[in-house]
Amino acid sequence: MFTAAQSILAANNPGRPDPGEVLVADDLVWPDRPSIGCPASPLLAGELARRGVRAARGHLHVETADTVALRAVFPAAEHEAGLGVAVTGSPALTEQVCGAMAACLAVAGTARTVLLAAPRSFCAGVERAVEIVERLLARRGGLIFVRKQIVHNAHVVADLEDRGAVFVDELDQVPRGATVVFSAHGVSPAVRAHAARRRLDVIDATCPLVTKVHAEAKRFAAAGHTVLLIGHAGHEEVEGTLGEAPERTVLVQSAEDARTVRVPDPRRVSYLTQTTLSVDETAEVLDVLRRRFPALRGPASDDICYATTNRQDALRGIAAAADLVLVVGSRNSSNSMRLVELARKQGTPAQLIDDAAGIRTDWLAGVRTIGLTAGASAPPRLVDDVIAALGGLGPLTVEERETTRETVHFTLPRKVRR
């Protein structure tokens, strides 16, 4: 069991928020005994944010003074863990802070198990794309422009922006002659032609597995086939592939689309897929297409990439044993969304979170076993942060369940090799 106490924050120390502000404790500091860490502080900060309360993070000095503070200490993953918050301001603000603290304490002190899926997080294509931008920033100086998000993860993009990368939606936003990186999702021939007209120094970070799909689209179209591209409208990878042979390519988004799509010659029809789709849903679409078009041809090897397949297989192995599945990834990440859908189809509640602050405490009520994974564009450190935050709420056991070990590595473009 944990014990909670109401305390006062020292008036003249750095652990005191300014009037009208809120401070969430990263650790609780006493003048006469060792401080206690607060690993679950991101969860408390997230609860406050969802209540419209912005909070700073830092040391919370537990001493007598004029600022209301709430703190708790309880057994956690390895040692005692703390949870604390201080507020100066209106009674309404204080009430919101108390509510957020109460929500966290309501799920604290419970022993939990995390079933950690492996493989998870970065794939070889994402690692390659991020390293390309990092090397350019380190070696070239000046502005490095990136068309679209280099990979679909908010933390990756924000980190590279902090280091000097400039992300743009259109090439017209890039000065003539400047360096521009094409994202891991690939681009259409029209975008490449536009870059050439503007005399841009192009560094191509397209995942080689996406490049493979583009080559297949050109080959099938050149053979006079109608290409049925299974994928999601508006996704950058799909837009790039459609652009290879727009007059011969038809987008198929679902089994319903597969039942109604029409082609000029049923004897000359092929299919390709977006690399980040649900394996099970894609199989359903292909079953329909094969029944309708017995002559349907496909790629020599699956277009759904190894990383997408591996992460789905790994999650499938733990979802049924979990009370809740957490998937670390951004909402525009197709492969991350597919992981959430997979868990829910197995009957397990599942939530997509950008980071530890995205965990709602009400999700944890009554939960003893949590399945945890991350999409292929989510940095591994975000998973570590989630584990640390959960461990800050009470005793935590982590069991990694590995289904396969990935050894794939993609070579960097010649322009950025040392």
Residue type, 101: M
| CA–CA dist 268, 165 (Å, integer) | 45
| CA–CA dist 282, 297 (Å, integer) | 15
Structure tokens at 10: 């020292």
Same domain, 194 and 259: no
Can 237 be counted among the known catalytic residues?
yes
- Assess if residue 299 is contained within a domain: no
204-218 pLDDT tens trace: 999 999 999 999 999
Three-class DSSP category at 40 = coil
Residue-level pLDDT at 1: 30
Same domain, 88 and 154: no
Structure tokens at 2: 């944990």
Same domain, 184 and 215: no
Over residues 397-418, mean pLDDT: 94
Over residues 37-52, mean pLDDT: 96
- What are 375's strand-pairing partners? none
Q: Does residue 333 have a known ligand-binding role? A: yes
Q: Does residue 214 have a known ligand-binding role? A: no
pLDDT at 318 over 90: yes
Over residues 285-290, mean pLDDT: 98
The domain boundary, picked from 80, 108, 136, lies at: 108
| CA–CA dist 66, 75 (Å, integer) | 29
- Assess if residue 359 is contained within a domain: yes
227-265 pLDDT tens trace: 999 999 999 999 999 999 999 999 999 999 999 999 999
- Assess if residue 340 is contained within a domain: yes
Tally of structural domains, the chain: 4
- What are 226's strand-pairing partners? 269
Domain that holds residue 322: 114-120+306-402
Q: Output the domain CATH number for residue 279.
A: 3.40.1010.20
Write down the residue that tokens 């009208």 correspond to. Answer: 20
Over residues 306-322, mean pLDDT: 97
- Assess if residue 370 is contained within a domain: yes
Residue-level pLDDT at 20: 57
| CA–CA dist 160, 165 (Å, integer) | 5
Any idea which of 59-73, 198-212, 360-374 has the lowest mean pLDDT? 59-73
Three-class DSSP category at 334 = helix
Same domain, 200 and 221: no
Pick the more confident residue, 61 or 403.
Answer: 403
Phi and psi dihedrals of 42, rounded to 5? -60, -35
pLDDT at 14 over 50: no
Q: Are 317 and 310 in contact (CB under 8 A)?
A: no
Same domain, 245 and 181: no
Phi and psi dihedrals of 7, rounded to 5? -135, 180
Same domain, 284 and 242: yes
Starting at the earlier edge strand, list the strands of the sheet with 269-273: 249-252, 226-230, 269-273
- Helix then strand then coil, in percent of the chain rounded to 5, is 35, 25, 40
Query: What percent of the chain is modeled with pLDDT above 70?
Result: 93
Residue-level pLDDT at 12: 33
Same domain, 215 and 193: no
pLDDT at 68 over 90: no
- Assess if residue 298 is contained within a domain: no
In 3D, which of 357, 365, 417, 362 has the Cα closest to residue 385?
A: 357
- Assess if residue 297 is contained within a domain: no
The domain boundary, picked from 81, 108, 135, lies at: 108
DSSP string, 314-350: HHHHHHTT-SEEEEES-TT-HHHHHHHHHHHHTT--E
Residue-level pLDDT at 401: 97
The domain boundary, picked from 227, 258, 292, lies at: 292
**Strand runs (DSSP E) across 171-245, as ranges?**
179-182, 201-204, 226-230
Over residues 290-307, mean pLDDT: 95
Same domain, 133 and 100: no
Same domain, 15 and 98: yes
- Assess if residue 47 is contained within a domain: yes
Q: Output the domain CATH number for residue 177.
A: 3.40.50.11270
Q: Does residue 123 have a known ligand-binding role? A: yes
Half-sphere exposure of 329 (CA within 13 A, CB side): 28
Any idea which of 5-19, 203-217, 377-391 has the lowest mean pLDDT? 5-19
156-207 pLDDT tens trace: 999 999 999 999 999 999 999 999 999 999 999 999 999 999 999 999 999 9
- What are 112's strand-pairing partners? 396
In the predicted model, what is the mean pLDDT of the chain?
92
| CA–CA dist 27, 20 (Å, integer) | 21
DSSP string, 63-99: -SSSEEEEEEEEE-SSSEEEEEEEE-S-HHHHHHHHH
Give the pLDDT band of residue 143 (cuts 50, 70, 90): confident
Same domain, 396 and 318: yes
Residue-level pLDDT at 11: 33
pLDDT at 148 over 90: yes
Same domain, 246 and 280: yes
Q: Does residue 235 have a known ligand-binding role? A: yes
Q: Are 108 and 40 in contact (CB under 8 A)?
A: yes
Residue-level pLDDT at 17: 53
* Residue ranges in 87-197 assigned as alpha helix (H): 91-105, 124-139, 154-162, 189-197
Q: Does residue 334 have a known ligand-binding role? A: yes
Write down the residue that tokens 């743009």 correspond to. Answer: 168
Same domain, 316 and 382: yes
- Assess if residue 92 is contained within a domain: yes
Q: Which of 47, 63, 237, 239 is catalytic?
A: 237
Residue-level pLDDT at 171: 98
Q: Does residue 335 have a known ligand-binding role? A: yes
Q: Is 146 exposed, middle or buried (0-12, 13-18, 19+ CB in 10 A)?
A: buried
| CA–CA dist 160, 149 (Å, integer) | 10
